[in-house]
Amino acid sequence: MTTTPIHPGAPTPGINSGGRESPLNAATGQQRSRVREGLPYPLGANWDGLGVNFALFSAHATKVELCLFSDDGQEELERIELPEFTDEVWHGYLPDARPGQLYGYRVYGPYEPEKGHRFNHNKLLIDPCARQLVGELQWDDALYGYTIGHEDGDLSFDERDSAPFIPKCRVIDPAFTWGRSREIHVPWDRTIFYEAHVRGLTMMNPKVSESNRGTFTGISDPAVLDHLRNLGVSSLELMPIHAFADDRHLQEKGLHNYWGYNTLAFFAPHPSYMATNTISEFKQMVACCHAAGIEVILDVVYNHTAEGNEMGPTLSWKGIDNFSYYRLMPEEKRYYINDTGTGNTLNLSHPRVLQMVTDSLRYWADEMRVDGFRFDLATILGREPHGFDEGGGFLDSCRQDPLLSQCKLIAEPWDCGPGGYQVGGFPPGWAEWNDKFRDNMRAFWKGDEGQLAEFATRLTGSADLFNHRGRKPYSSVNFITAHDGFTLRDLVTYNDKHNEANGEDNNDGSDDNHSWNHGVEGETDDPEIRALRMRQMRNMLATLMFSQGTPMLLAGDEFGRTQGGNNNAYCQDSEIGWVNWEFSQEGRDLLAFTRHIIALRRRYPMLHRSRFLTGDWNEELEVRDVSWLTPDAEEMDVANWESEHSRTIGVLLDGRAQPTGIRRAGSHSTLLMIVNAHHEPVSWTLPEVSSGRHWIFRLNTAEPDLREGGYYEFGSTYEVESRSMVLLELVRDDSGAGRNG
């Protein structure tokens, strides 16, 4: 007897696939279910053109119910028990389900917090692999698996239904016409990150229509993309766009979780960021960015979730399989390991949790076509039960994956756990945020003593941290400011943080800012202080762009935005946290300066080499890639380096240095940077360089004027103003200025 294979979701003869009523079996008179067995993969709700396959991992559940909701999410229409359990995955197939269907899960199992189990079928749960969420989380005591106020605390069991208060999952149709959209693949040595917030970047932009501000469509606006393109950055790094929860304690204070490091769903965009309420809006944004030549990088949070600790709500993972998804205390599984400082830590040592995270990354890289990821508290992703391991499962999975290994992977290399600080400790293929660069550059320009030697190390790519195992200078993501901390303008305007608006009596946020108000706390009309602050901003921007490594610019720093001294604007979905596009003449001048220095970085390969500068003499080529000079044009000696009072140095970058692993001379421009963080001017003797004629002026941070040109002979004196940087280019005997930049 032969049978015709049937697609796992195809309607079978005798089963009604068009409605919700199941027909009667003619022989037995019993009602037959329209639900089919389906497949255990892929996880989530997946539309195949005929129906929807539902698959949910839970190793310890005893039963899983799929709950279907009305189009407005208000009415629960039906509960369907998933019929099959395969390899710890519960699954079923609905031939009559279609894109747009709203759903959630109720998961049955033991409620035994002491053993790590917190099943409560009264709580509607978000699918960890949901592609879209509809509605907002509404805080209510019914969201908790235990009864708040009960004498047994989280050991009690709450029987209230949480469905009215939880966002619903939506089945999506992933179809999208990408048209001529192309992949970008900006080389690492030409990458310049621009860190921005979806809402914050456009909420106050008058050129973006009011209805589109704060959304992906707002990012797609030509006014935004033209600004980024004209600025010269290569890659837009967006703060978390995964669906996230607003913290209850913030809402009660009239505040919001603005930054979004509180994930509800790793596959779904945050609902309020979609002006059209469609997934295609995000894809459209990516296509527009790519058309403008700009990569899209996502800041992702795979280290913890919005469910908090044992006293937190039951929203998804906690009620699906708490024991598997989270790292629990080995001897007291009622409690969570808190290496994140947020209450819980995802257990990436579990293969299914690891699968969820890597599937999420592949979804965004493949289906959504993003170009890379910045991983929040990334040390946790490499943390195994014995501690951080650069050969851990997650880091290995990214390195071997044919898709993810081609994405830009950037680690925030620290967490709150033991051994959590791992700057320079990630494996090849990863770049890392370098907070040592941030701290040293701030301290150096502030005038702190004993910073010069480290300044030279950070300026040349932090080889002490990254020059091993074939890693390149661009492994160091250099930044002066980021979302967490002062903006650039506030860095030169405030000695102390001013976080009063956060409602925590100014106790939140770091006190270690290496900032300097230059004599007056806050804004001032004093022209001398304002001029010095502008110069200091130019100094730090120029240092950022002229350092080896990958620079990252915080949105708005290019024209001096302020947060009023707030260095922890995580809860400020307001004008404090938004970028103000109405800026003064000072802002316009700083914007022109920032464009200029980015153009200089792109012009001169010696400012973004793919090889570390060593300062070693190459006998074959008779050249040294970098030389460190004193004001009298002599090589720095040990006494110069060790002096606590040294605040000025010359950096000679010789364009004839070997540019690649092939032993041949380079043909790039030779540059001289003179850096003076002293409070007084310093007279410099300009050095003589073989095969050169003289020096030509390119930049002076002491002068707002962006003119170039003007020749200086070898041996002549150049007066370098206090707290300033000068850039000169060598004019060669045979080719005028450098041949290839």
Catalytic residues, by residue number, are 376, 412
Q: How far is it, in rounded angstroms, from Cα 471 to Cα 473?
A: 7
- Tokens matching residue 638: 């040990």
Q: How far is it, in rounded angstroms, from Cα 426 to Cα 210?
A: 43
Angle between helices 317-325 and 351-362 (to 10 degrees): 120
3-state secondary structure labels for all residues of 709-738: CCEEECCCEEEECCCEEEEEEEEECCCECC
Q: Which alpha helices (DSSP H) does 519-663 contain, by range?
A: 527-546, 585-603, 638-642
Angle between helices 585-603 and 222-231 (to 10 degrees): 60
Listed in sequence order, the residues at least 6 apart from 599 whose beta carbon sits closer than 8 Å to its beta carbon are 232
CA distance to 449, 596, 608, 641, per residue, from 460 (Å): 20, 21, 10, 16
Q: Which alpha helices (DSSP H) does 312-451 contain, by range?
A: 317-325, 351-362, 393-400, 435-446
CB 301 within 8 A of CB 412: no
180 class by beta-carbon count within 10 Å (0-12 exposed, 13-18 middle, 19+ buried): exposed
CA distance to 147, 202, 233, 276, 719, per residue, from 288 (Å): 48, 16, 15, 16, 47
Listed in sequence order, the residues at least 6 apart from 402 whose beta carbon sits closer than 8 Å to its beta carbon are none
Pick the closest to residue 685 from 708, 656, 716 (CA basis).
Answer: 716
> ∠243-249-254 over CA atoms, to 5°?
85
Amino acid letter for position 250: L
Query: In the sheet where 133-134 sits, what is the strand order?
Result: 76-81, 63-69, 102-108, 168-170, 133-134
- Tokens matching residue 65: 């119910």
* Numbers of helices and strands, H then E, in the chain: 15, 33
Listed in sequence order, the residues at least 6 apart from 559 whose beta carbon sits closer than 8 Å to its beta carbon are 583, 587, 588, 590, 591, 594
